[in-house]
Amino acid sequence: MHDFGVGILGTGIYLPEKTLTNADLEKMMDTSDDWITRRTGMKKRHLLDDDKPACTMGVEAAKQAIRDANITPDDIDLIIVTTETPDYLSPSMSCLIQKHIHANKAAAFDINAACTGFVYAMTIAQQFIETGYYRFVLIVSNEGLSRIIDWKDRNTSILFGDAAGAVVVGRVKKGYGIRKSYLASFGDLGHNLTIPCCYVSEEDRQKRRKEMERTLWQDGSEVFTFAIRAMTDATRRVVEAEGKTMEDVALVVPHQANLRIINGAAKRLHLSDDKIAVILQDTGNISSASIPVALNFSDKKGLLKKGDIIVMVAFGGGLTCGAALLVWGK
């Protein structure tokens, strides 16, 4: 159909300098390093200073990704930001980032598919590029979760951190890049993870402490069960659609929500540890930034070889889930 593929040309990340370890959390609430490590695999997370807008992380990640792709900000046709913590509803995070990186010719919009945002954005970018409408799309997954956490709620606060990951998507050689993707939403399960914004219901209020009405609330065990099922199913779908087996996959880059979720899905997929990118011990759950940050780490470690089959898979609020299979062609 086309004489080109659509793939990742460059990656960039930003992790704030300040960190919060399990030992720090022990001083803030009734928890322990032992509990957090056993139940989640996490050891530390990065936190952005309160006085900085979250878009500062995305700006740095975007600049790196543009450099890595060997293009200039003027080449960018479209900026898609995935975020659950926009600094403003308007201007969008993507317009804020556009301003700071001087991508003056770009169109820009935000999407919200929660932690699945990056997989959704990759699929959107693919459509624009395949049709020839755009040449270069910048995706920035920009998450400042520490801002929507109730730091007295030990069920959620231990899980999340701040970070941004960015990629430039564009044309690659035919046969490389995104080969298959699968996106799904389960709105009827949305009540299991909520972050009120411009409206707060009585139910939302009852689930939260007073004055904490716009914080993240979740039913951890419901989300946990959904996550393993959704990640397993989404991965199988894209691998089978491509006519491959799990044996053919070089690396799975999953959303980093809990090591037990990743291991649960890996067990069902008969996937060995060396084929899974895991960074959550150092980052916590960074929502939609999980996959681009983990991809960047894997690339820097030389784990991504040209021609490798990579599966990116995520789940999150909405509830949503999705996966994309790509042949690494950077």
The residues that are catalytic are 115, 255, 285
**64 or 85: whose CB is closer to ligand COA?**
85
Told to check if 258 binds ligand COA by CB under 6 A, we report: yes
CB of 182 to ligand COA, least distance (A): 18
Contact between 323 and ligand COA by CB under 6 A: the answer reads no
Binding test (CB under 6 A) with ligand COA, winner from 104, 127, 155, 201: 155
- Write the interaction track for ligand COA spanning residues 48-87; mark x where CB under 6 A is met and - where it is not: ----------------------------------------
Size of the site for ligand COA (CB under 6 A): 19
Q: Can residue 257 be called a binding residue for ligand COA (CB under 6 A)?
A: yes
Q: Quick one: which of 35, 91, 242, 244 contacts ligand COA (CB under 6 A)?
A: 35
> Which of residues 58 and 316 has its CB atom nearest to ligand COA in the complex?
316
In the bound state with ligand COA, the residue whose beta carbon lies nearer, of 196 and 316, is 316
- Closest to ligand COA by CB, 223 or 309: 223
> Cβ-closest residue to ligand COA?
220
Indicate the residue among 22 and 298 with the shorter CB distance to ligand COA. 22
Decide: is 151 part of the binding site for ligand COA (CB under 6 A): no
CB 181 within 8 Å of CB 323: yes
**Selected binder of ligand COA within 53, 91, 190, 220 (CB under 6 A):** 220
C-alpha to C-alpha distance for 248 and 234, rounded to whole angstroms: 16
Note the residues at the interface with ligand COA (CB under 6 A).
31, 35, 39-40, 115, 154-155, 158, 193, 218, 220-221, 223-224, 227, 257-258, 285, 316
